[in-house]
Amino acid sequence: MIKVLNSVHEYRNFINEIGKDEFFGDPGCKNEEKLQSMISNALQDPSKQVIGVFRENIMIGFFIFLIIKEDQYIELLLGLSKEKQAYDEMIQFLKQNYPGYQADFVYNPKNYLLQETLTSLQAEFAKEQQRMVLDHIVPYQSNHQIVLYEPKYREQYCAIHLNDCYWTAERVIEAPDDFRIILAIQDDQVVGYIDITYQLEDNEPFDVFVKKEYRRQGIAKAMLAKAIELNQPKKMSLLVNVDNYPAIALYESLGFITVKDENSILGTIQC
């Protein structure tokens, strides 16, 4: 049985227990303080839905979703359960209430129950990602022209922006309270960009891109160094494909370190 929840006080023990589990805990919320902050925020945000799955009034699953109705988009923000039944009922709930929506699930790669559920639905999977956190600041000087986004760069920025993701160039531009856009300019042309959050205590680059013909010139490093500078004194973390060794080396050169047991994977289905 599914219940939409307005309070989670009586389920704290279940949430905290599963949240710490090696296989079924959420990779982005291993810290109990961060877990409780996410739950509190979700209960107050009308764009988010908190649901519990129950068997004979005993909770067997706890899930938080971001629901963007105008875009027919769902994102799993938190999923906690050790029971296959909970994942199956959660999927049925989404299909019944949000038919036709794209649903993205970011989850612990060790969670074989959710993996089996999504595989049975012929989900598309991205590569496993490693979480890295900024551990210390490495000073970096560059001759590249790195600037903040201005409307005069809109056409060029949109032209090179990756589109196979929810946060397209247009959506990022329309969310100035959420994202900072950093651009690399060469010969009056936009040759690279970083989309990064900036209002959170722990900010994250969502996308780092440099045009192919301008790579291996230190442009990505210069943009990221600028992002780190502007982000101070807040924290910064990021996700990178586990086999993207050049990117990992770049991040390490600027003071990022890998975080053990916080890898994640993305699976996508149509409800």
For 221-265, give the DSSP string.
HHHHHHHHHHHTTSEEEEEEETT-HHHHHHHHHTTEEE-TT--BE
Domain CATH number, residue 146: 3.40.630.30
Q: Nearest-CA neighbor of 227 among 210, 206, 258, 205? A: 205
**What whole-number distance in Å separates Cα of residue 203 and Cα of residue 213?**
29
6 and 124 assigned to the same domain? yes
SS3 125: strand
Q: Is residue 30 part of a domain?
A: yes
Task: Return all residues near 33 (Cβ < 8 A) that are at least 6 apart.
Answer: none
162 and 82 assigned to the same domain? no
User: In this predicted structure, what is the pLDDT of residue 234?
Assistant: 94
Task: Return all residues near 233 (Cβ < 8 A) that are at least 6 apart.
Answer: none
Whole-prediction pTM value? Answer: 0.79
Q: Is residue 245 part of a domain?
A: no
- DSSP per residue over 34-102, as a string? HHHHHHHHHHH-TTEEEEEEEETTEEEEEEEEEEEGGGTEEEEEEEEES-HHHHHHHHHHHHHHSTT-E
SS3 203: strand
Domain extent at residue 173: 138-231
153 and 88 assigned to the same domain? no
User: In this predicted structure, what is the pLDDT of residue 30?
Assistant: 64
Number of domains forming the structure of the chain: 2
7 and 112 assigned to the same domain? yes
216 and 174 assigned to the same domain? yes
User: In this predicted structure, what is the pLDDT of residue 191?
Assistant: 97
Q: Is residue 79 part of a domain?
A: yes
147 and 110 assigned to the same domain? no
167 and 82 assigned to the same domain? no
Q: What are the average pLDDT values for consecutive 10-residue runs of the chain, which has 271 residues?
A: 93 90 81 76 91 95 94 93 96 96 94 96 94 93 95 96 85 94 96 95 92 94 96 94 93 94 92 93
14 and 51 assigned to the same domain? yes
DSSP label at residue 31: S
**What whole-number distance in Å separates Cα of residue 183 and Cα of residue 192?**
6
Q: Is residue 217 part of a domain?
A: yes
Q: Is residue 253 part of a domain?
A: no
**What whole-number distance in Å separates Cα of residue 126 and Cα of residue 106?**
10
